[in-house]
């Protein structure tokens, strides 16, 4: 959430930065609401100070021997009661206008970093560098063709269980999914991350805190009878892990890694990637999350990106790093590096991780601060996929496919899977 002080004092700055995102917005009305809220706050504070002084004066006169029922005391108490009534009225107005202001601020995205390249959409994203040598042979299969041939999953039977865009992993496919999750968790915990296994159902406050609500309500699955939603990413519960807390500065950064199932409607993507593991309503993901000191979040962003890259390198998967332009940034992000893995069957790079620094945007929505001496400040949050499991499996299938129909797995995964090959399975 954006700082109300900026809305009051520097609305032109906010308008300019949002325009970099492609959002043209007249902030005059919002500025007026913010100023009105501030004026009411100051009025209430002054009245409460006067009321406190009157209370002290009453106490002092009684200590001096005045009769509590004396006219002087009664007059002071009448003044105090009048002030209390005025304060109550102001508090009601303040409550109403604060709710309006908060609702409007919750709908505005984070401001882009000055280092974020300007651009309208994904076409203006900038490639930073590449790692690994992409396979370029002709007639390579796409991952869903390989998976169907060696029977790693079943989508037709799954549609009878639920609906389209869900998948049931079978045999080696199920074992490979489990192996990838354990491999990624072990790799990240060896680098100092604390493992977390959060709830799959999260409340509305958690989704607002991370920035998914109110903007992305249509993308989420909701439990109608409860204030609960299926989590779209472990970023949501991890953000709220320290909601309304003050974190000691000498304990930062706090680094978490969490495996979770993720659920998304993919409302705006019908017709895209309808086959295979790229775009499902339910998928598994290992998420990296940092609570960082605000002066060290730039270094933290580089490190969380490197930690996500380490998975791809260990699995010997070629990839490239893309910096998103302002027009392609996620709602809560200030700056983002995407990792795109090479899929030789599709002859294309596809996103497999998005590593973002959110500055104090989520911390303000979730009231997460740090304290140094007597100074309290909002912390910075960062998140990154480390990695999306289904897309990692797709990349392994396409990069490891062999002429004899098997799939060669990278050495790092063998202790987890139990073999270096996926082979045709005729049991299903």
Phi-psi region of 87 (alpha: psi -120 to 50; beta: other; left: phi over 0): alpha
**Beta-ladder partners of 288:** 257, 384
Phi and psi, residue 5, nearest 5°: -60, -40
Q: How far apart are CA 132 and CA 321, in angstroms?
A: 12
**Beta-ladder partners of 335:** 357
Catalytic residue list contains 391 = yes
Instruction: Select which of 354, 356, 366, 385 is catalytic.
Output: 354
Q: How far apart are CA 361 and CA 309, in angstroms?
A: 25
Length of the chain: 428
Short-list 101, 98, 112, 124, CA closest to 23: 112
Catalytic residue list contains 8 = no
Classify residue 193 by its DSSP letter.
P
Catalytic residue list contains 21 = no
Catalytic residue list contains 92 = no
Handedness of CA 57, 60, 64, 68 (dihedral sign): positive
CA distances from 315 to 63, 149, 408 (A): 80, 23, 11
Strands 335-343 and 375-378: unpaired
Short-list 344, 350, 400, 389, CA closest to 169: 389
Instruction: Select which of 10, 175, 265, 279 is catalytic.
Output: 279
Catalytic residue list contains 350 = no
Helix (H, G, I), strand (E, B) or coil at 375: strand
Q: How far apart are CA 277 and CA 356, in angstroms?
A: 23
Instruction: Select which of 98, 364, 391, 398 is catalytic.
Output: 391
Q: How far apart are CA 212 and CA 106, in angstroms?
A: 10
Residue pair 354/328 in contact by the 8 Å Cβ criterion = no
Instruction: Select which of 264, 335, 364, 369 is catalytic.
Output: 264
DSSP string over 101-148: HHHHHHTSPPPPPTTSPP-SSGGG-EEEEEES-----TTPPPHHHHHH
Catalytic site residues? 264, 279, 351, 354, 391
């Amino acid at each position: 959430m954006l700082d109300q002080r900026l809305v009051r004092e520097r609305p032109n700055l906010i308008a300019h930065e949002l325009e970099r995102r492609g959002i043209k917005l007249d902030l005059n009305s919002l500025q007026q609401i913010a100023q009105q809220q501030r004026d009411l706050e100051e009025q209430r504070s002054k009245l409460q100070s006067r009321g406190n002084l009157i209370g002290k004066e009453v106490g002092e006169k009684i200590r001096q021997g005045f009769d509590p029922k004396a006219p002087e005391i009664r007059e002071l108490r009448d003044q105090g009661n009048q002030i209390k009534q005025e304060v109550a009225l102001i508090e009601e107005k303040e409550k109403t206008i604060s709710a309006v202001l908060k609702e409007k601020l919750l709908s505005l995205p984070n401001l882009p970093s000055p280092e974020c390249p300007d651009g309208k959409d994904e076409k203006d994203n900038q490639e930073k560098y590449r790692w690994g040598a992409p396979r370029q042979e002709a007639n390579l299969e796409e991952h869903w063709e390989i998976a169907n041939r060696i029977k790693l999953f079943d989508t037709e039977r799954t549609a009878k269980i639920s609906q389209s865009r869900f998948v049931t992993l079978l045999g080696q496919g199920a074992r490979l999914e489990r192996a990838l999750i354990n491999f990624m968790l072990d790799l990240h915990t060896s680098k100092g991350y604390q493992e977390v296994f959060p709830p799959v159902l999260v409340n509305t406050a958690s989704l607002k805190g991370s920035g998914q609500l109110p903007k992305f309500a249509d993308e989420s699955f909701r439990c109608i009878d409860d204030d609960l939603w299926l989590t779209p990413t472990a970023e949501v519960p991890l953000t709220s892990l320290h909601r309304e807390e003050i974190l000691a500065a000498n304990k930062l950064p706090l680094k978490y890694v969490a495996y979770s199932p993720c659920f998304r409607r993919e409302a705006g993507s019908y017709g895209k990637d309808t086959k295979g593991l790229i775009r499902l309503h339910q998928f598994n993901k290992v998420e990296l999350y940092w609570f960082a000191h605000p002066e060290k979040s730039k270094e933290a962003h580089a490190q969380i990106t490197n930690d996500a890259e380490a998975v791809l390198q260990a699995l010997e998967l070629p990839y490239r790093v893309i910096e998103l332009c302002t027009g392609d940034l996620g709602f809560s992000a200030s700056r983002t590096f995407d990792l795109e893995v090479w899929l030789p069957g599709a002859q294309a790079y596809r996103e497999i991780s998005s590593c973002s620094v959110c500055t104090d945007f989520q911390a303000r929505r979730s009231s997460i601060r740090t304290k140094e001496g007597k100074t309290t400040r909002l912390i910075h949050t960062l998140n990154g996929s480390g990695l999306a499991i289904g897309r990692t499996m797709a990349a392994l299938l396409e990069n490891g496919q062999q002429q004899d129909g098997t799939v060669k797995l990278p050495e790092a995964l063998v202790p987890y899977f139990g073999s270096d090959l996926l082979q045709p399975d005729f049991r299903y």
